[in-house]
Amino acid sequence: MRKLKNEELGRKTIEEFKEAAKEPIVIVLDNVRSLNNIGSIFRTADAFLIEAIYLCGITAQPPHKDIQKTALGATESVTWKHFTTTKDALIELKEAGYKIIIIEQIDKSISLADFIPQQVTKYALVFGNEITGIDDSLLPYSDECIEIFQRGTKHSLNIAVSVGIVVWDFCNKLNPI
């Protein structure tokens, strides 16, 4: 066993990434405060060939040194767009035929383990603020709500971790290895 060298990883150039077929997923960030979280989410989107990230409300936009610190260049490969409000982003996505999936702990949520994404469906995965979660006013725009089952006392995950778990799960279910 040996660790692979960078040249053995088959990494795409930025141009190859932009031309590659993407997963039909848009990550929507609703008022995310942490620039490091935003950068980490860009890296996750790059790793899984996600279509785009929508940065909403107070969510910071590239270029910013604290985003770049964790994104490691992913802001150059991943398509992103800023919206003044998350509601505007969800309306645009709904009109474009996306199924809106809010990731939140609510009374009618479905466990991520039980949710099976459909091959021909485009998804918008909405993640909320680190402290307050998804704004309640966005719930009527959702088609479904998914919750990541947790066993501990906190019942709270870092948003970048949540994005990683959900995106990995969706991609794995859509394109099993």
3-class SS of residue 85: coil
The model carries a pTM of 0.96
**Residue type for 36, please?**
N
**Spans of all domains in the chain:** 24-174
Residue type, 149: F
Q: What is the pLDDT of residues 89-130, one digit of tens each?
A: 999 999 999 999 999 999 999 999 999 999 999 999 999 999
Residues 50, 127: Cα–Cα separation, whole Å: 15
Q: What is the pLDDT of residues 15-52, one digit of tens each?
A: 999 999 999 999 999 999 999 999 999 999 999 999 99
Class in CATH terms, 24-174 = alpha beta
Which DSSP symbol is given to 1?
Answer: -
* SS3 label, residue 25: strand
